[in-house]
Amino acid sequence: MAQKITVPGIKAMKAGGEKITMLTAYDTPFARILDEAGVDILLVGDSVGSVVVGYPNTLPVTIEEMIYHTRAVAKGVTRALVVIDMPFMSYQISIEDAKRNAGRMIKESGAEAVKLEGGVKMKGVIKAITDIDIPVMGHIGLTPQSIHQMGGHKVQGKAEEQKRKIMEDALAVEEAGAFSVVMECIPTELATEITDRLSIPTIGIGAGIHCDGQVLVIHDVLGLMGNFRPKFVKSYIDLRAVISQAVENYMDEVRKGKFPTEEHSFHL
């Protein structure tokens, strides 16, 4: 059996110059496929809200929904590190609340680490959660839970002042004890500078080639989301077309009385 990926193992990958692969997963069958393919980290992202449940953004996602999907993912995994996103308002109210929710999410979901958004402002929260030995993955740059404050999904850190703030966020996340940090939609040059400066791994999404690892939403990788494709996404297959074709074939055979055949039938 392949060796289990752990939090220290992820940190060691940066030290060893080995690129980290991370994908989202939201259910058992996908988790099993991705785990067997050898992905290092499976993130049960709060993107489940927009990708799977049909919410307009990640804000409505609840702790219960995150636990439900993460339980399903954990059942399909033997090797990858499983990380659960802390949803909006599960860590912003108080440090005590954040610790209680992080603890509950680890206890009830089968995840091995939590991810939360924010840098300098979340330093105390990250420190408090890591102090109770729950590994934390940070998330800086474009933080989708701040979509209204940011005015949409926009590249962050282009202006000098913003660039300085994002560097400060990265340093704060590391100082607070996070074991890695996701950097979303920031210029390649800034992501490279942060990656060189931090000792913990950086995992990019729309942050260029020089991050220690990369993450994408699995539905984007598989071409399941239709025509809208952000610049940073690469779809490796048009699974939407493959699924449509399969469904059309099924309907055609049912309508023409070609399915089921003897092969799919029972007899007395």
Residues that bind ligand KIV (CB under 6 A): 24, 43, 45-47, 85, 182, 205, 215, 217
Q: Is the Cβ of residue 146 or residue 259 nearer to ligand KIV in the bound state? A: 146
Instruction: Write down the least CB distance from residue 221 to ligand KIV, Å.
Output: 11
Set 65, 112, 117, 184: catalytic member: 184
184 noted as active-site residue: yes
Instruction: Write down the least CB distance from residue 117 to ligand KIV, Å.
Output: 8
Q: Is the Cβ of residue 200 or residue 215 nearer to ligand KIV in the bound state? A: 215
Q: Is the Cβ of residue 55 or residue 259 nearer to ligand KIV in the bound state? A: 55
Instruction: Write down the least CB distance from residue 120 to ligand KIV, Å.
Output: 19
Residue showing the smallest CB distance to ligand KIV in the complex: 45
The secondary structure of the chain as a DSSP string is -PPPP-HHHHHHHHHTTPPEEEEE--SHHHHHHHHHHT-SEEEE-TTHIIIII--SSSTT--HHHHHHHHHHHHHT-SSSEEEEEPPTTSSSS-HHHHHHHHHHHHHHH--SEEE--BSGGGHHHHHHHHHTT--EEEEEES-GGGHHHHTSS-----SHHHHHHHHHHHHHHHHHT-SEEEEES--HHHHHHHHHH-SSPEEEESS-TTSSEEEE-HHHHTT-S-S---TT---S--HHHHHHHHHHHHHHHHHTT-SS-GGG----
Q: Is the Cβ of residue 46 or residue 112 nearer to ligand KIV in the bound state? A: 46
Instruction: Write down the least CB distance from residue 164 to ligand KIV, Å.
Output: 23
Name the residues annotated as catalytic. 184
